[in-house]
Structures are given as C-alpha cells and as structure tokens.
Amino acid sequence: MNILLVYPEMPQTYFKLDNILKILGKKMSFAPVGLLTVASMLPKEWNKKLIDKNVKPLLDSDVEWADLVMISAMNAHVPGIAPVIEQCKKFNKKIAAGGPLFTHEHLKFPEIDYFILNEAEITLQPFINDFIAGKPKKIYSSKEFASVTESPLPDWSLVNKNDYAYGTVQYSRGCPYMCDFCDVTALFGRKPRVKTPEQVIAELEILLNNGKFENIIFADDNFMGNKRVLKSELLPALIEWRDKHKYAPAFSTQITINVADDEELMQMLLEAGFRQLLIGIESISEESLKLMRKNQNTGRNILADLHKIQQRGFLLMTGYIVGLDDDKETVFRDQVNFIQESGVIMNIINILKAPPGTELYDRMERENRLLPEFDFVESRSNIITKMKPEVLASGLAYVMGGVYSPQAAYERYMKYFGLEKKSKVRNPIQRKITLAEIPTIFRIVRYLTFDKDVGKHFRKLMFYVWKHERQNLDKGVLFGMIMQHQFEQWKRLEKVLNEYPVNTVIEKVA
C-alpha cells in the first residue's frame, strides 16, 4: 500500500517568516510534525512518502504512485486545499483528511472521501481497519481526548531536516483558558494533557541526530497550561538533559503573560534552554480583554510584565488584535506607543477574525456578522467589524508603519538593549559558529548592510552592538533579519490596505 501524506501550502503571513527564511537559505520555518506523527501510526509495511508543499511541489508522479492520499491541515491552510484536491482527483485518487481545519469544517469539502477527525490517536486506527477490510466510512470522529503519552515518535525520516529553520516538538495539548477567538479548547479541551519527559527527550534526540537544529520550537498552544507537571517533571528533566549535552539547541514556545508572576518558573525555563517566548497580548484595553475572555491578561501591568520577562533574558514575540468591538479610533496610536515602549522585538498585528469552532464564531453567527471566507491573512477578516472597514484598514496601515518601519524597529531594539538584564544562567546557550557557516553569515551581513531600505538602520544597529553589546553580535544580525522581514511585511500589507481610499484614522490620531 502506497500512502502519500500531503501538507498544503501556507499563505503568506508574518508568521511564515518567509523573508528571514530566504536570507537563511531555509525553505520553511517548521516541519509538519502532526503529519509526521500520523505517519508513525500507519502500518509498518505500508510505503510512505510525505510532500510538504511549502518545501517542494507535489508532482503528478507522486499522486499517481499513491493508493491513498492523506492531507492534514489547520485553518490557515484553507487557500492551499483546493489545488491538492484537484490534483488528486485528476488521477481518481481517494483522499483522507484530518487536522483542525477538517475537524471544524469537513462539510465544506465534499470532494474528500474520508475524514479522520479530532485526534488521530483515537480515530486513525478504526479507519485503517476499515480501509484494509475494504469498507471505509466517510467520517471517523470522537468526543474523547487521547492520552498523548501514547503518541508515537514522529517519523522524521520522511523529511529533509535541513529544509526547516526550527525543529519541532509537541509536549502538551489543551489549555485551561477560554479566549473567545481561539479554537484550542474546542479541539483539545481545558485540561492540558502532557507527554512524559522520556517521550520529549526521545524526540529531542531524534532532532539532534543527523542534521542539527540550532533552534527547536515546542509547538504547544500554552506550554505552561499544566504548570505543576511542567515544573515538577519536564523542566527538571530538560535541565538534566542540557547538563549532559555540551551542545544543545535553544528552545522557544508559546506561553501566557502570567509567566511573569513566577520567578522560579522563568529561571527553570532559562536553565532548560528556553530563550524565545510567544505571548498573546491581544489588546491594551481592559474592557476588550474582558470581552474576549482573555482573563489572564486582565488586572495587571502588561508593560511591566513584558519588561520583566525580557530582563530575565527572554526574547519575546507578542501578538495583537485590532478591530475589536470596543476599539475606538485612538486604539491604533495607543497600540503603536505601547509596542514601542515594550521593547519587544517581534510583534504580530492582526485584524480580529473568528476561526470556525470558536465562541467568537458562534457569537458572530448569532449577531449575523459572519462573512463566508475565513483565512489567516493579517489584513482580512471573516466578520463584519463594528469599526468601519476603511477606518480599520487605514488604522492597521498606521500600526504597521509605526511598528514595522526600519526606524521604528531600530528604536525598539534600542529600548530592548536598554532594559537591564538580570539573569544568570548555568549552561548558557553557546552558539558555535562553524567554518562552513562563515560564508552564510558574511552573506547575510553584506545583504543587510547594503539593502536600500534597511541598510542605514542595520548599520546603525550593528555599530551600537559592536560598541556596547559585543557579546550580542549574533542578536544584532538576528534583529537585522527581523527588521528586514518586518519591512517587507509592512510594504506587502500596505499595498493591500491602500485599496481603501480614506486615511481618516491617521489624520485623527497623528
């Protein structure tokens, strides 16, 4: 039996980091670790081939080879699904699909033959049994949540690790919070389920074999969802593992702002190797946070928290939303000021969207405010916002300029460097530059130094780093790449947003 596993193309968004990938010579940020895990659950005697369309094209010959095509997709993949279906149907191939997109929206894909919904640990085996017996059903679903301690190791042999900037591990599923725009709890429940330290370390060992990753992302929706077990089991094991490995990668993950309340947890994260954290701030308005039920962000000084986390030694990426029901026209100016004051290097700004399966989606449906198309592109939304579209468009363009312009990025980096760093970490992450990497670094620095748009600010940045932060030269180069990426993102979205004729917000708040 020949099984072709297909991961559809991702649309261009900030999170795809395509400009940074281009400079680094990588094809994609992360490998499709969910699909690699599914591959491990298939019968050993089946032949498997995986095509990640973000890395290489899906050839007709791949499709012809297959007895069955399996697609996995998230909501963000919507625009990439139709081309895969069309190519498979040209050769009359049967398609089985799973993952969050189909779990919420399988009815929108009548051409797909079988749906393996919810968690594959529960629904895949019954499908396999029926498929072998020649009587597969249309839909396999479950109301139960799987025990992730039974998840097999992802089959990394199906991809070329060198294509990806980050290695990927998933430790937990589920989140105790109930943010109304997020589908995590609908998909995975409010009680986070975690893998054992042995499972996680086995996955790390695979990632470090044959083709090392400098950076590994823990692809959890909320890494500290089960804080007690994290602190008592996984982090001590990771610290011990790092003690043994002289050369271990830096880790990154998604976490909630209340990590700032727990000094011990932050220190453990650092000792375990975590350096980059993604935190959803969403709004700087207390009323909006309450409305979206982002309760963990309310009643606190978020700016002080962001400074504190960075002072401990973490690099942050933060996420914001505009176009919330409570947003006034001044929100754009206030958000730019807040982000610049935060000193956070990377910031993702989105228009409010209602992903299928969320509480917000249901509310928008009840209020008759849903639009038919949903995708994750920053400048689009699937809801009728209370703010007029032209005001929102010009406001978003204003925020982009205020945060993503090279000058704004430079000012923010200076703010970041100005924050007094307080942490002492045993086993600091040693970035060893190999001889083979020197031409790449030289190429990146030359590219950024002479770039017509960011060159001036990159040179200023490197001059500052050379003079005051010489131990952070690698950060200077990284920040330069981010500066360039943000600039490209700004220009790309500005083009889209300029379709709206009125620049009312900018006039009012500037």
Give the footprint of ligand SF4 on this chain (CB under 6 A): 175, 177-179, 182, 184-185, 221-222, 256, 280
CB of 63 within 8 A of CB of 88?
yes
Q: Smallest distance from the beta carbon of 308 to ligand SF4, in angstroms?
A: 19
Closest to ligand SF4 by CB, 155 vs 183, is 183
Token pair for residue 503?
């620049």
Q: Measure the CA–CA gap between 100 and 188, rounded to whole angstroms.
A: 10
Name the minimum Å distance from CB 225 to ligand SF4. 7
Q: For residues 184 and 149, give the distance between their C-alpha atoms in angstroms, rounded to a whole number.
A: 19
Give a three-class secondary structure readout of 131-153.
HHCCCCCCEECCCCCCCHHHCCC
Closest CB to ligand SF4 among residues 329, 362? 362
In the numeric block, which tokens belong to residue 257? 């702002």
Please say which residue, 87 or 358, places its beta carbon nearer to ligand SF4: 358
CB of 429 to ligand SF4, least distance (A): 26
Q: Which amino acid is at 267?
A: Q
How near is the Cβ of 221 to ligand SF4 at its closest, in Å? Answer: 4
Dihedral angle computed from the Cα positions of residues 116, 119, 120 and 121, in that order, rounded to the nearest 10 degrees = -140
Q: Which residue has the tokens 């050379």?
A: 466
Nearer to ligand SF4, 191 or 468 (CB): 191
Cα angle vertex 222, ends 156, 174, to 5°? 80
In the bound complex, what is the minimum distance in angstroms from residue 448's beta carbon to ligand SF4?
Answer: 33
Q: Which is nearer to ligand SF4, 42 or 175 (CB)?
A: 175
Closest approach, Cβ 35 to ligand SF4, in A, equals: 21
Cα radius of gyration (the chain): 23
Query: Alpha-carbon distance 248 to 440, whole Å?
Result: 21
Cβ proximity to ligand SF4: between 174 and 197 the closer is 174
Length of the chain: 510
Q: How far is the CB of 293 from ligand SF4 (least distance, A)?
A: 8
Nearer of residues 9 and 221 to ligand SF4, judged by Cβ: 221
Determine the Cα–Cα distance for residues 435 and 433; give it in Å rounded to an integer.
7
Query: Hey, what amino acid is at 270?
Result: L
